[in-house]
Amino acid sequence: MTAPTSAPPGATRRQRLVAIALMCCAFACFSALDATAKWLTPRIGVIETSWVRFTSAFLLAALVLRPWSHREILRSVRPKVQIIRALLLLASTILNFLALQYLQLTETMTIMFTQPLVVALISGPLLGEWIGPRRLAAIGVGFLGVLLITRPGAGGIHWAAVYSFIGVGCYAGYSMLTRYLAGHDSSATTLFYSSAAGVLLLSPVMLFIWHAKPDGWTLLMMAATGFWASLGHWLLILAHRHVSAAVLSPFLYTQIIWMLALGYFIFGDLPDRWTLAGASIVICAGIYLLHRERVRKSVDYA
């Protein structure tokens, strides 16, 4: 998701600290969203949980953006690309929720952390942003970390990790198209398309597959998916108003802390040493890629 406003060129130390705190809180919300989805899917189903997530996001986006008063939000310069991007987000969400039925929160999150590696790898052929040998080596190291977690052939991780890996591919494509659309459509238009597509595609399906009779607690958790997603995106926008994405990006990896805590206290999950070691390698590779990207941009602007 792109921030609606750019960060000030000379952010103060206080602004940076506030932005970092907002960023960490945003990813705490996204972790809570995944934990809520993991709790919900056995009770109401994966597709149903996905529908709840997109419907709540759509309603909030409609209330905030008011497309009935601002018709320009509905007009896209690249509508086909918007639709493809929205479909990739929908697929990534469903695949992530499928994986969460079987995997620990930390396992799915660590696999999702490879998304920047995938984006860096495919940026060359798709966007012409070719990477050098250092970043290519970092990508290789990052994928070695994933192999350490999954340990194929050694019974390391549940087969449902395949859902996460396919989801990473979908989300990488979604991220690439987000960057492409930033030069064509407003962030409001892109945000609206993201949620609207999920609602339009899943709502007819709900007429045939919704059989759940949620109790009060389940209804509360269903509402919580919208709350966590909305609050997380709002905090993310506030953070990017203070400082640039280059400063904030490394704090994406604080999400592993929230996932560890939520997985342990809610589901009693405790990752093994292989998962922790692999996660550390993936995170280090991702942070190094971000560092090299900042170096490259500083050279370009010099």
pLDDT digits (tens, 9 = 90+) for 134-183: 777 877 887 788 777 766 555 556 788 899 989 989 988 887 887 788 77
Which of the four pLDDT bands, split at 50, 70 and 90, describes residue 286?
Answer: confident
How far is the C-alpha of 278 from the C-alpha of 284, rounded, in Å? Answer: 10
pTM: 0.78
What's the domain range around 21?
1-44+233-271
| Residues 147 and 259 occupy one common structural domain | no
CB–CB of 189/75 below 8 Å?
A: yes
How far is the C-alpha of 298 from the C-alpha of 302, rounded, in Å? Answer: 6
Residues 73-109: tens digit of each pLDDT = 888 888 899 999 999 989 999 999 999 998 888 888 8
| Residues 200 and 251 occupy one common structural domain | no
| Residues 120 and 164 occupy one common structural domain | yes
| Residues 237 and 225 occupy one common structural domain | no
Burial of 102 from C-beta contacts in 10 A (0-12 / 13-18 / 19+): middle
Burial of 136 from C-beta contacts in 10 A (0-12 / 13-18 / 19+): middle
| Residues 160 and 226 occupy one common structural domain | yes
Greatest mean pLDDT range, 22-26, 113-117, 150-154, 279-283: 22-26
